[in-house]
Amino acid sequence: MTDLSWLTARPVAHRGLHDLNKKCWENTLSAFERAAARGFAIECDVHLSADGDVVVFHDNTLDRLTGTNGFIWQRTVAELAALRVGGTEDHVPTLHELLRLVDGRVPLVIELKGIPGHDAGLVAKVGEILRGYAGKVAIMSFDHWLIRDFAKYAPGVPAGLTAWGDQDHELEAHFSMLAHGMSFLSYSVTHLPNRFVSFAREKLGMPVITWTVRDLEAVRTTFAHADQMTFEGFDPDATPVA
């Protein structure tokens, strides 16, 4: 099994080390630089632009983060670069820009965001971009139709299932994805413990990171039932687990 100890060695900054979108906004180069400078791994979200490139952005729509109407998939990279995130100097970055900025200093955990009808080619493009990157990087998604393409278009890149839920029908759907070469899980801390995560971690030796940890109770739940946390809104280096 591939050594993924680097994935859980340090807390993972959720959408970078932002300040809950006060001055430093999520999924911006500023937030990513802050995380890298502190030695935190970085989680981020990616979509396809209208011209087929990969941009770092969480929402399907542009309004919350840029104050602009429309959908992320309707804009080109150049158009997105012209938009300011949260009224700051930061623009919507490309995955290329993120990789150049981090340059292997800390691990990256990239979540691919599916939009039915508007995500064809996303996995292939991410795989193409990552082939030229020498740093530690993993990919993951909630979207099963994207995960099924991971092994084909991003071979050799550690692949994860992002998931939540503790009901039987939810867990059975997650179990079905283990057939698609999963290397790790990113699981909602609010739904731990559960039998799926316990099986993957204890029987398969699969590392588990949690999302999104915002308080001490969630920190404790993480380290009781998983291996590392994806956090925001506090300094994990100053937060005792005990």
**Active-site residue list:** 14, 58
Start-end of H helices in the chain: 5-8, 29-38, 63-66, 77-81, 95-102, 122-130, 144-147, 150-153, 168-176, 195-202, 216-225
Using a 10 angstrom Cβ sphere, with 0-12 exposed, 13-18 middle and 19 or more buried, the burial of residue 84 is middle
CB 183 within 8 A of CB 160: yes
Q: Which residues contact 199 (CB under 8 A, 6 or more apart)?
A: 175
CA distance 105 to 51: 29
Query: What is the β-pairing status of strands 208-213 and 228-231?
Result: parallel
Cis amide bond preceding 93, omega within 30:
no
Element (H, E) at 108: strand 108-112
φ/ψ of 19, rounded to 5, equals -110, 45
* Residue 217: HSE in the Cβ half-sphere, 13 Å Cα cutoff: 2
Amino acid letter for position 186: S
